[in-house]
Amino acid sequence: MKPVSSEVVTLAPYFKIKFECSNRAFYDVKSEICEIADKIGIEIQDGYISEKCDFEGDLEKIIIYNDERSFDLLSSVMEFYNVPLSDLPSGCNLVLSIF
């Protein structure tokens, strides 16, 4: 799936890659992240990501933490979506979101 935008969001700073799609289609993004993680030997459900769902339980956000442990996944995901790693400010987590 192709993202529509990427930006730094402030107050609690994070870097957001936005996908304009339905909650159901957003699961394709999660599948892409799982495939990326598999290729680099990471089990994403082992604390590498967090998921935020709406009140009906549908996936809205995927958060990849910007720490030493998750950096390989974070950089691989940014590369997959053609977002330069240099766009990510130091210490900002990566958020993939439908809005």
For residue 9, pLDDT beyond 80: no
Tokens representing 7?
């930006």
pLDDT recorded at residue 37: 96
Per-residue model confidence as pLDDT tens digits over 20-50: 899 889 999 999 999 999 999 999 888 899 9
Per-residue model confidence as pLDDT tens digits over 63-93: 999 999 999 999 999 999 999 999 888 889 9
Residues facing 96 on adjacent strands: 17, 62
